[in-house]
Structure 1
Amino acid sequence: MFKNFNKRAPEAEANVIALKPEVAAFRPEDDLSQEDRDLIKLLELKSRLHEALLDRLNYAVIDKVVPEDLRREVAALVTEVVTSERTPLKSKDFQRVVDDLMNEVLGLGPLEPLLEDPTVNDILVNGHDSVFVERSGILEKTKVRFSDEKHLLRIIDKIVSRVGRRVDESNPWVDARLEDGSRVNAIIRPCAIDGPSMSIRKFAKMPYTMERLVSAGAMSQTASDLLKGLVNSRLNILISGGTGSGKTTMLNAMSANINNRERIVTIEDAAELQMQQEHVVRLETRPANPSGGGAVTQRELVRNALRMRPDRIIVGEVRGAETFDMLQAMNTGHDGSMTTVHANSARDALGRLEQMVTMMGIDMPLGAIRTQIASGLHFVVQLARLSDGRRRVVSISEITGMEGDVVTMQDIFIFHRTGMSDDGEVLGEFKPTGIRPRHWDHLVAAGVDVSALKLTSMG
């Protein structure tokens, strides 16, 4: 696999077949001081080794290399670099470096270190030589790169093929997921003018709970208690917010309060929900095959889910005509169902639902659509990613019915902004509006400790 080394270690006598012939010999940087060498971290060494791999791999034949041969040659590269840099490694550290490099070669290449970094929430690839990450809501450029556009395309194809999807000129964008559930969107030429682009929303290793969201400042404890009560009371909830506002995270956290004895059916374009109950059936859409047939839409899955005896139906995100079927389910005994929608306010979220119902193509009066919304949905939880990068609940609103052709709502909780700190953090507090929810009796009947909601004196 590797070729043209200055000095070949004994382990490198294996059959080398995957190195670009034109690559020049590896030349380590100038010797560092003893103090600097002592500060070199294992991760920094892996980063340099990964750069060497990028320059030497022949990706046209990499998939044909026997893993044992590949491992032997990766070990040879590690041996040469640590010898040249006079950076001795313990046996266990040596094996760990080799294992990590193998994962990078056989996994997602340059992205592997970012996928392993627990501080990274999003990975944004803007072409083969420009990769950004988001940490705590702040975007920053990384030194990660792909060797060329073909290398990036190979990684994209590896991701989408694992979940039975494809991306090519006739189908230039795709939604997929990694094995750990991380959400992936990729788009290639001709739609991506400057070359392939990819975004990865990482799957949390430890599912978020309401308690963790409170600790992170996403909401107050009182607001959290109310949301738990809504779930326990089997009220239908719409979670709304802009891109990256934390809708799926909130849906996961709230769903953790569903009774373990209930049967849950989840429906998603790319499965990413982290249900923590035992009785869960996960459904996922399927795109059309190359001949244009075989597609399975969210609407078809929602309709099928109604025949599966669900106690609750959870749709990861409503985007089209399936919205009508979801509302029908909420109006026909499937209480406690939840879904998310892209919208910038609770009122806008209802407008989005109206628009998506009309996508069915049938002549249905707006008044009838709004009646379905008002009777099927009970609460809207609005999220936002603020200017400091933090994701917060900004309102919890109750749908109270209809006045004429208008769906009426009232805010139960809102986030009041009070200013900015010196380091740019948005300051504010979560406050109840003093309005007692119309579904108060549902909360009491479900055994919710209403006194903990601290609203009894504000009716």
Structure 2
Amino acid sequence: MNQHDATALAAVRSAVGRDLAASSSQGLADLIRSEHLAYGETAIHELATAARHEIYGAGPLQRYLDDPQVTDVLVNGCDSVWIDRGRGLEPVPSGFASDDQLRALAVRLAAQAGSRLDDSSPTVDGRLPDGTRLHALLAPVSESPALISLRTLRQRAITLPELVASGTIPKQWEPVLRAIVDRRLNFLVSGATGTGKTTLLSALLSLVPTTQRIITIEESREIRPNHPHVIALETKKANVEGRGAIGQSELLRNALRMRPDRIVVGECRGGELAEMLSALNTGHEGGCGTIHANSACDVPARLHALGALSTMTPEAVTLQSAAAIDIVLHVRREPHPAWASTRYVAELALLEQVGGTLQVRPALTWHNRDELTAGPGYPELLERLK
């Protein structure tokens, strides 16, 4: 953005403050004409678009959020912006004229998310009105004046055949995943941040019969299956007085009273693990959720760590997890120039109790998207899918 554009946008912002009717695209164009801020319809249209993005959208980042292929927009500084179009991170022009403009955008986006971002509260995690997930930090927490991470919200659920076509799932596994949903097995999707856990979960929930009611519980809604009967519950943060917070554990208790057919916990983070395991052990079949783990084999350790946060003993975690969770689906993210997608399902494993300990038994493995192998748990997997 050059100095002339910045000056014009500042004039538009000032004029909008005097004319609230200018919030629409046409209203902004009319205001620009009346203020003589640009001449020629092309220049007026470009300035109106830039002004709308600057005042009501994500400023210079809005063009990337409008790209349907972009999943993440990451701002490391005034002159360092990266996006992910599904093939790994790539640098793009930032469009920021100064550090002050970047910081001002971070503060404004936080306000849109209903949060406060300033020197006394330099971190924010929230959701923008269009569903985009926002995380932002201000100096001195970060070396940069501001860091912004945006994760776009998919307008529709990616289907299972689309995941197969993109190379996320091997074609041979599609019938297995369909059977997991049809047989109402409880499962966890594990993986690191950004590996596509929510995308896979939404695709599988889209296979649930329309006669069943799905209740999702998340901090910020991201699971959006193509299904006519989805009830989405979101946690609520405390207000400035420290009151009114509603966590996942409370939402899960309420969900049990809402006649659910499938209960979905967007991410197990701690105290809600006890309620989730309890729900899955009381006849609510077909439940699922996501969990952060480095591999399927690491899921038991992760469950024990989360159980400790909810005051569960290791023995209780082992007994309840083995009884509640049937299968672990592990997803990875590995960029490769020959792959259409960097994300793929690497393992299907059974979760079970062996000799008093919680373990996973590999059933199917996709080694680096090359070799498909059946593990020691494959015969038992076939038995569970009958």
Counterparts of 1:234-383 in structure 2 under 5 Å?
234-360=184-310, 362=311, 364-383=312-331
Contact 2:88 2:335 in 1 (8 A): no
Hey, what's the Cα distance between the residues in 2 that align with 1:51 and 1:376? 61
Classify 1:436/1:347 alpha carbon distance in 2 versus 1 (closer, same or farther; 3 Å).
closer
Tell me whether 1:194 sits opposite 2:144 in the alignment: yes
Q: Deviations over 1:299-325 (max 9, x none)?
A: 221122122221111111111111121
Over the aligned positions, Cα root-mean-square deviation in angstroms equals: 2.6
Partner of 2:52: 103
Partner of 1:183: 133
**Larger Cα Rg: Structure 1 or Structure 2?**
1
Secondary structure at 1:317 match in 2: coil
Q: Deviations over 1:55-98 (max 9, x none)?
A: 54338846614254742354555535x8xxxxxx6xxxx78646
Partner of 1:71: 29
What runs of 5+ residues in structure 2 fail to find an aligned partner? none
Secondary structure at 2:359 match in 1: strand
Partner of 2:346: 394
Contact 2:29 2:44 in 1 (8 A): no
Contact 1:55 1:147 in 2 (8 A): no
Query: Identity across aligned pairs (percent)?
Result: 34
The 4+ residue runs of structure 1 with deviation greater than 6 A are none
For 1:72, the aligned partner's letter is D
Classify 1:258/1:215 alpha carbon distance in 2 versus 1 (closer, same or farther; 3 Å).
same
Partner of 1:432: 374
**CA displacement at 1:184 relative to structure 2:** 1.8
Contact 2:78 2:94 in 1 (8 A): no
Give the TM-score normalised by the residue count of structure 1: 0.74
Partner of 2:155: 205
Which of 115, 120, 142 does residue 70 from structure 2 map onto? 120
For 1:151, the aligned partner's letter is Q
Hey, what's the Cα distance between the residues in 2 that align with 1:287 and 1:355? 24
Q: Deviations over 1:1-49 (max 9, x none)?
A: xxxxxxxxxxxxxxxxxxxxxxxxxxxxxxxxxxxxxxxxxxxxxxx7x
Secondary structure at 1:79 match in 2: coil
Give the TM-score normalised by the residue count of structure 2: 0.87
Q: Deviations over 1:381-440 (max 9, x none)?
A: 0011014271111101112x32222223222211123xxxxxxxxx61434347544354
Classify 1:428/1:163 alpha carbon distance in 2 versus 1 (closer, same or farther; 3 Å).
same
For 2:53, the aligned partner's letter is E
Hey, what's the Cα distance between the residues in 2 that align with 1:63 and 1:352? 51
Classify 1:405/1:433 alpha carbon distance in 2 versus 1 (closer, same or farther; 3 Å).
closer
Which of 215, 233, 237 does residue 165 from structure 2 map onto? 215
For 1:373, the aligned partner's letter is S
Classify 1:266/1:206 alpha carbon distance in 2 versus 1 (closer, same or farther; 3 Å).
closer
**CA displacement at 1:443 relative to structure 2:** 2.8
Contact 1:126 1:198 in 2 (8 A): yes
Partner of 2:362: 411
Contact 1:255 1:275 in 2 (8 A): yes
For 1:64, the aligned partner's letter is G
Hey, what's the Cα distance between the residues in 1 that align with 2:149 and 2:370? 31
Hey, what's the Cα distance between the residues in 1 that align with 2:348 and 2:107? 41
Counterparts of 1:8-27 in structure 2 under 5 Å?
none
Contact 1:131 1:145 in 2 (8 A): no
For 1:314, the aligned partner's letter is V
Hey, what's the Cα distance between the residues in 1 that align with 2:330 and 2:18? 51
Contact 1:159 1:177 in 2 (8 A): no
**CA displacement at 1:351 relative to structure 2:** 1.1
Hey, what's the Cα distance between the residues in 2 that align with 1:73 and 1:144? 27
